[in-house]
Amino acid sequence: MPELPEVEVVTRSLKKTIKNLKIIKITVNNRNLRFKLPKDFESILKNKIIKNIQRKSKYIIFDFGNNFYTILHLGMSGTLHIPSKKKITNLSFYSNPSLPKKHNHVIIHFKKIKLIYNDPRRFGYFKILNNKNDFENYFTRIGPEALDKDFNLIYLTNKIKNKKKNIKNFLLDQKIVSGIGNIYANEILYKSQILPTKSVKKLTSIDLIKIIKFSRLTLNNAIKFGGSSIRDFKGISGGKGDFQKKFAVYNRENQKCNKSNCKGIIKKRYISNRSTFICNYCQS
C-alpha cells in the first residue's frame, strides 16, 4: 500500500503533467470501487479544468477552483498511468512499466493525453466534494501528518494518555497521525531506538521527541529519494523510488544492525499481522 512519501511523489508527478488541463471526457469501465461511483460522475467532471493538485495524508486532491474538489485514495493496489509512446506509463505504486490490460476502471481524457486509474483490488475510490465545509470536514477524521507542526510534543503527550496501544499500532492509527504506514513505522522506531511493542503509556518525553524528529526525517528522506520501490514504484520519469536502498531495518531480517557499536541482529516479528523488524540489541 502506498504511504505518504509515495503519494507525495505521485502528486508531484501529476502536477507536472495535468495541472491546468481541461477534462474532455471521462470513461468509466467499472463503477464498483470501494465506494460506487455516482451515475453522473462523468458529466459532473466533464469540461472542468484542474487548477491544482495537492496531497493530504494519503489522499490526492484535484482542485477545480470555486471550492470544488475530487479526492482520490489509491487504496491497497490503485495505480495511475499516463500512456505514451514510451513504454513507461506508471505514476504510482505496485506496477509494471507498461499499461495493465485489466482493471483500468476510470479513464480521464484530456486533449492530448489521458490519465488511467487501475485498481485490481478496488479498495481505492473517488469522492466529489463541492463546497468548502464538506472538504474541510472530510479530513477531520484523520490526525495531523507527522510533517505538520501540529504533530508535536504537546499533541502526543495528550494522545498517549490512558492509551493501551503499543507504539507501533499507535503510529499506524490514522486518527492519531496520518500518512505513516508499516514500512515507515518500522524505520521511525528503529531510529528512535524504541521497541515497537512498548506501551505508549511508558513512553517518556524524550521518547516522544525522538519519534517526532525521526518521523519527519524519515518521511522527508523518503520523498527526497522518490519513495520506496518494494513492488516497482516509479515516478513520472520512469525511475524507481530509491528509498528502499536506504532502509535501516525494514526487510533486513537476520542482517547486522548498521549502527556503529551495535552488535545486534535484525529480527522479524509480527505485530497485528504486520511484518515488524527489530534490532534485538539497540531497541528497548
Tens digits of residue pLDDT in 7-58 = 998 898 899 899 999 999 999 999 999 999 999 999 999 999 999 999 999 9
Is the pTM above the cut of 0.85? yes
- Final residue before a domain boundary, out of 85, 108, 141: 141
Tell me how far CA of residue 224 lies from CA of 13, 56, 198, 227, 242, in angstroms: 13, 18, 30, 8, 9
For residue 247, what are the contacts with CB-CB under 8 A and spacing of at least 6? 183, 187, 228
Residue 263 has pLDDT above 80, yes or no: yes
Q: Is residue 234 part of a domain?
A: no
For residue 246, what are the contacts with CB-CB under 8 A and spacing of at least 6? 221, 225
| Chain centroid, CA 182 distance in Å | 11
pLDDT of residue 239: 44
CB 122 within 8 A of CB 34: yes
61, 187: one domain: no
157, 275: one domain: yes
The one-character DSSP state at 239 is P
58 catalytic? Reply is: yes
61, 185: one domain: no
Radius of gyration of the chain (CA): 20
130, 168: one domain: no
60, 135: one domain: yes
Phi, psi (deg, nearest 5) at residue 199: -65, 140
3 catalytic? Reply is: yes
pLDDT of residue 148: 95
71, 192: one domain: no
- Final residue before a domain boundary, out of 141, 175, 201: 141
173, 81: one domain: no
- Looking at per-residue pLDDT, the higher value among 40 and 94 belongs to 40
CB 262 within 8 A of CB 243: no
Residue 154 has pLDDT above 50, yes or no: yes
* Counted domains in the chain: 2
2 catalytic? Reply is: yes
Q: What is the mean predicted confidence (pLDDT) over 232-251?
A: 58
223 Rama class: left (phi>0) / alpha (psi -120 to 50) / beta:
alpha
112, 203: one domain: no
Question: Is 122 exposed, middle or buried, given 0-12, 13-18 or 19+ CB atoms closer than 10 A?
Answer: middle
200, 82: one domain: no
Question: Is 245 exposed, middle or buried, given 0-12, 13-18 or 19+ CB atoms closer than 10 A?
Answer: exposed
Q: Is residue 147 part of a domain?
A: no
The C-alpha atoms of residue 183 and residue 198 are separated, in whole angstroms, by 18
Q: Is residue 284 part of a domain?
A: no
263 catalytic? Reply is: no
Q: Is residue 245 part of a domain?
A: yes
What is the CATH number for 249? 1.10.8.50
pLDDT of residue 284: 73
CB 71 within 8 A of CB 11: no
55, 82: one domain: yes
Query: What is the bridge-based pairing of β-strands 69-73 and 52-56?
Result: unpaired
pLDDT of residue 238: 41
What does pLDDT average to over the chain?
Answer: 89
Strand order in 125-129's β-sheet?
52-56, 59-63, 69-73, 125-129
Q: Is residue 94 part of a domain?
A: yes
Q: Which band of pLDDT confidence, cut at 50, 70 and 90, is reported for residue 236?
A: very low
The single residue of 56, 58, 159, 234 carrying the catalytic annotation is 58
Q: What share of the chain is helix, strand, coil (3-state, %, to 5)?
A: 30, 20, 50
Q: Is residue 203 part of a domain?
A: yes
Q: Is residue 262 part of a domain?
A: yes
Q: Is residue 86 part of a domain?
A: yes
- Looking at per-residue pLDDT, the higher value among 2 and 153 belongs to 153
**Structural domain containing residue 18:** 4-141
- Final residue before a domain boundary, out of 119, 141, 163: 141
CB 219 within 8 A of CB 244: no
Residue count of the chain: 284
Q: Is 250 helix (H, G, I), strand (E, B) or coil?
A: coil
Q: Which band of pLDDT confidence, cut at 50, 70 and 90, is reported for residue 235?
A: very low
Q: Each residue of 157-184: pLDDT tens digit? A: 999 998 999 999 999 999 999 999 999 9
What is the CATH number for 116? 3.20.190.10
pLDDT of residue 94: 46
Q: Each residue of 188-218: pLDDT tens digit? A: 999 999 999 999 999 999 999 999 999 999 9
92, 157: one domain: no
pLDDT of residue 96: 55
Q: What is the mean predicted confidence (pLDDT) over 83-106?
A: 74
13, 84: one domain: yes
pLDDT of residue 87: 60
